[in-house]
Structure 1
Amino acid sequence: MSRLSFGRLPRHIGIIPDGNRRWAEKNGYEKQDGYKFGISPGFELYKTCLELGIQEMTFYGFTIDNTKRPSVQTKAFQSACVDAVRNLANQDADLLIVGNTESPLFPKELLPYSKRVRFGRGLMKVNFLVNYGWNWDLNCSLKNSEAGIGGNMANTIASSDISRIDLIIRWGGRRRLSGFLPIQSIYADIYVLDELWPDFKPEQFYRALTWYQDQDVTLGG
């Protein structure tokens, strides 16, 4: 399937890769083992987006709330995020990691990427939410305001370098945003897949894009 198969493509896609723990239990693993099986699907999706000409994608790594899970699970998804970024260094992407870097739960290996870094030819913006929280994100705007940094709120939040999202795709059947970039998601269309994230196949992504063709994008107008 090629780019010409679609009348229009979302410029920016948000990805919520849910279902790793359920997949692990279903396949005879411990819950924490599911996260490492979610790395390869991410790169397959990245390559598919690149082939189609998608300009930007944002991938949900883990949230501040997720770190309330048992430590063995927390360490597992922290490690998976680090491994994913190390693999991305061999690709063509402009990477930005957004999350609370002041927390000890933020992987120190990822600190260099809290400012956008170009890998290879930088063909697509890739944003990775790591130790991210919607409340933390919005509170940065309040802190900037108190520091005398004014202007549009969208320009003063922690995730201000991430643009408005056109389409959000969530795997795993849950019909909620789970705090995913509340400002950028305000006009996003949301497509939910029942398949668990480690079972990703490009056909699932194409299904979402096909559905997107029929959505009325008015941005409130």
Structure 2
Amino acid sequence: MQKFKRLPKHVGIIPDGNRRWAQRQGLPKESGYDKGIDPGFALYETCLELGIPEVTFYGFTQDNTKRPAVQKKAFQKACVDAVKRLANHDASLLVIGNTDSPQFPEELLPFTTRRHFGRGLIKINFLVNYGWKWDLDQGIANSANNKNLHQAIASSDISRIDLIVRWGGRRRLSGFLPVQSIYADFYVVDHLWPDFQRDHFYEALKWYQEQDITLGG
């Protein structure tokens, strides 16, 4: 295992490229989502070994549900399978997303309040049927109850992010936790998510060590 002099306390993961990966294999687009589960566990194990205390995975967004029904069913199932599998591991699990929508998988409702498994040494957050407008709208509605907006958003139990790593080569945040990502460093991996290797993440962490972290100061 590699050693680092400074590690982020919270890493955001945008696992993009599943559909493009499937097409390159001559498969239908929806076949790529299931191939993203094992990489997620490899990354979870890496963060656990390194002692990174919190990781947030982008599952799917409300905008993603506009895709063809067969793709929507596939990524919903992949999120359910990933969360249920992780529930058998050492983690403190939370799923954040619009549960009022029929697009939110019912199987994940028990995880919308943080649940601890094993020793709970690492916080794992999944964004499922998440939308940045929905998140902020919840904050506006709740902030009337003598709360500051950032304490009232739907994702308020998720801490500020230090580093966001996006696979798949796209240079955009795609609505990923706008409040928590306000001071995050952003690293792009050009490889597609199903082709994940630990070295991709190690390179991101090496790059992060050299960044000037001022938080505006």
Q: Is TM more than 0.5 here?
A: yes
Counterpart amino acid of residue 124 in structure 2: V
Once the two structures are superposed, the pairs formed by residues 150-161 of structure 1 within 5 Å of their partners are: 150-161=146-157
1:201 to 2:206 alignment? no
1:163 maps to 159
Query: Using the alignment, how far apart are the partners of 2:63 and 2:146 within structure 1?
Result: 29
Over 4 Å off, 4+ runs: none
- Give the gaps of 5 or more residues in structure 1: none
Counterpart amino acid of residue 109 in structure 1: E
Query: Using the alignment, how far apart are the partners of 1:49 and 1:137 within structure 2?
Result: 26
Aligned to 2:191, what secondary structure does the other structure show? coil
TM superposition shift of 1:150? 2.3
Counterpart amino acid of residue 125 in structure 2: N
Query: Using the alignment, how far apart are the partners of 1:81 and 1:34 within structure 2?
Result: 13
Counterpart amino acid of residue 163 in structure 1: S
Once the two structures are superposed, the pairs formed by residues 40-189 of structure 1 within 5 Å of their partners are: 40-145=38-143, 148-189=144-185
* TM-score (structure 2 length as normaliser): 0.99
Counterpart amino acid of residue 16 in structure 1: I
Query: Using the alignment, how far apart are the partners of 1:150 and 1:22 within structure 2?
Result: 46
Query: Using the alignment, how far apart are the partners of 2:52 and 2:216 within structure 1?
Result: 23
1:7 to 2:8 alignment? no
Counterpart amino acid of residue 68 in structure 1: K
Q: How many residues align?
A: 217
Please, what is the CA RMSD of the aligned residues? 0.7
**Aligned residues with identical type, % of pairs:** 70
2:23 maps to 25
Are the counterparts in 2 of residues 150 and 156 from structure 1 also a CA contact under 8 Å? no
Counterpart amino acid of residue 81 in structure 1: C
Are the counterparts in 2 of residues 154 and 160 from structure 1 also a CA contact under 8 Å? yes
TM superposition shift of 1:144? 1.0
Aligned to 2:166, what secondary structure does the other structure show? strand
Aligned to 1:215, what secondary structure does the other structure show? coil
| 1:119-175 alpha-carbon deviations (Å, 9 max, x no partner) | 111110000000000000000011113xx3122211000000000000000000000
| 1:40-97 alpha-carbon deviations (Å, 9 max, x no partner) | 0000000000000000000000000000000000000000000001110111000000
Counterpart amino acid of residue 201 in structure 2: F
